[in-house]
Amino acid sequence: MSSVRDKSHVASSIEAVPTTKPEEVQEVEEESSMQEFSRRVLLHATLSPEEFKSGKILPFAGGADAFRPDKEASEQDYTKGIVRRITLQSVSSDYDQPIHVAMNLFESAATEEQYANPSKLNNSVGWLYTEDGASVASGKAGGFTNLVSILPNEVARMQQVVYEPTNALNQRYIEQFGGYTADSLRAGIVPFKGKDYYYVPHDHIVMSVIRNNWESLGINAELEVKRENEFIKVNTGVVDKVIKELDDHVLKQMPFTDFSKLSLHYSASASPGVKEDTKFNVVTEFKVEYTFPKIA
C-alpha cells in the first residue's frame, strides 16, 4: 500500500558550456529559473524473509500524476524530472535484520555508469555502501540506487537527507541542455544535398557551443557573415562533431528520473529461525524535491 501527500566536460576539445570561475557557477545556481516542487511519498510494505532475501520492488501509488504540478506550464517538460533532494521523513520496521532501501532514480541506461561510479554524480551526504558488496547500485536489482538502511526493529528516526547532488556542472548542463533531445539539437539546421556545409541559425544552441570553443574547432563565428540575415555557414564535420559530443557526454548523462516508474527496492538477509512466509511491516516516508527542464 502506498500513498502520496502534499502534493565532464564534453570532450577534450569541446566544452559544452563557457569556462567560468567557481563564484560564477554559484551565481548561475542562485539565479536558476527552474521552478522546484516537493512531494511526500509514503510506502507501507508487507514482506516475508524470503522476499527480503530475493529483493522486492514496490512502486509508489499515483505514478507520474502524483508529481505533476497543480498548475502546469507549457514550457516545462513533464516527461522527465530531475531530483534535487530526497529526505527520509519517518521510518518503521518490525523486521529483526537491517533492510537496505534503493530507488530507481535514473531513467536512462546510459546513466548506469553514474551509480557504478559515484564520482560521476556527487552526493552531498555520501553514497551508501552495503555489507553484501553493493555500492551505489543495488546488488539485487539493476537500475536501483541505494539510499538508506533501516535498522533492525527501528521505529523512529530524525529527518535525514539521503540524496542531494552537488555537482555544479550538472546544474549548468541541466539549465542549458536539459530540454533538448538528440533530434531537437538538429532542429532548424539546414542541410544541402551534396554539400559539406550546413546553414545554422545564428542563435542556435550549437552555435553557442561553437563560439565557446572557436579556437579548438577552427571557426570564429563572430567573423562569419550571416546568410539571409539569420544563418551561419558551418562545415558539416564541425556541426556533426558538436552534436555527437553533446548527445553522448551531456544529454545521455542527464540524471533524469521517470516518475511514472518510481519505485523502492527492499533487500535484507533472511531472519534465522523465522519461517520464510512470515510477514513483516516496513513503512517509509520520503520527501522528494525536484524540478522539470524547460522545453528547448
pLDDT tens for each residue of 160-176: 999 998 765 566 777 78
- Residue 100 falls inside a structural domain: yes
What pLDDT is attached to residue 217? 78
Tell me the CB-side half-sphere exposure of residue 39, using CA atoms within 13 A. 24
Same domain assignment for residues 227 and 110: no
Give the integer Cα–Cα distance in Å for 56 and 47. 8
* pLDDT band (50, 70, 90) for residue 105: confident
Same domain assignment for residues 34 and 6: yes
The residue range of the domain holding 127 is 2-176+255-291
Same domain assignment for residues 69 and 198: no
SS (H, E, C) the chain: CEEEECCCCCECCECCCCCCCHHHHHHHHHCCCCCEEEEEEEEEEEECHHHHHHCEEEECCCHHHHHCCCCCCCCECCCCEEEEEEEEEEEEECCCCCEEEEECCCCCHHHHHHHHCHHHCCECCCCCCCCCCCCCECCCCCCCEEEEEECCCCCCCCCEEEECECCHHHHHHHHHHCCCCCCHHHCCCEECCCCCEEEEECCCHHHHHHHHCHHHHCCCHHHCCCECCCEEEEEHHHHHHHHHHHHHHCHHHCCEECHHHCEEEEEECCCCCCCCCCCEEEEEEEEEEEECCECC
Encode pLDDT of 191-217 as tens digits.
999 999 999 999 999 998 888 888 777
- Residue 94 falls inside a structural domain: yes
Same domain assignment for residues 93 and 166: yes
Same domain assignment for residues 152 and 34: yes
- Residue 235 falls inside a structural domain: yes
Distance of CA 115 to the CA centre of its chain: 11
- Residue 186 falls inside a structural domain: no
Q: Which residue has the cell 533487500?
A: 267
Same domain assignment for residues 139 and 235: no
Encode pLDDT of 236-286 as tens digits.
999 999 999 888 888 877 888 889 989 999 999 988 889 888 999 999 999
Same domain assignment for residues 61 and 139: yes
Cell of 76: 516545462
Q: Please state the domain count of the chain.
A: 2
Same domain assignment for residues 54 and 98: yes
* pLDDT band (50, 70, 90) for residue 108: low
Encode pLDDT of 11-56 as tens digits.
334 554 433 333 333 333 444 567 889 999 999 999 999 999 999 9
- Residue 182 falls inside a structural domain: no
Same domain assignment for residues 73 and 103: yes
- Residue 183 falls inside a structural domain: no
Same domain assignment for residues 51 and 158: yes
* pLDDT band (50, 70, 90) for residue 1: low
What pLDDT is attached to residue 20? 34
What pLDDT is attached to residue 201? 94
Encode pLDDT of 66-75 as tens digits.
898 888 777 7
- Residue 39 falls inside a structural domain: yes
Same domain assignment for residues 153 and 88: yes
> Which of the residue ranges 9-13, 153-157, 219-223 would you say has the lowest mean pLDDT?
9-13
Give the integer Cα–Cα distance in Å for 104 and 142. 9
Asked if the model's pLDDT at residue 9 lies above 60, the reply is no
Encode pLDDT of 78-104 as tens digits.
888 889 999 999 999 999 999 999 998
Same domain assignment for residues 202 and 149: no
What pLDDT is attached to residue 177? 85
Encode pLDDT of 225-242 as tens digits.
888 889 989 999 999 999
Give the integer Cα–Cα distance in Å for 94 and 58. 18
What pLDDT is attached to residue 136? 52
pTM tops 0.85, yes or no: no
* pLDDT band (50, 70, 90) for residue 115: very low
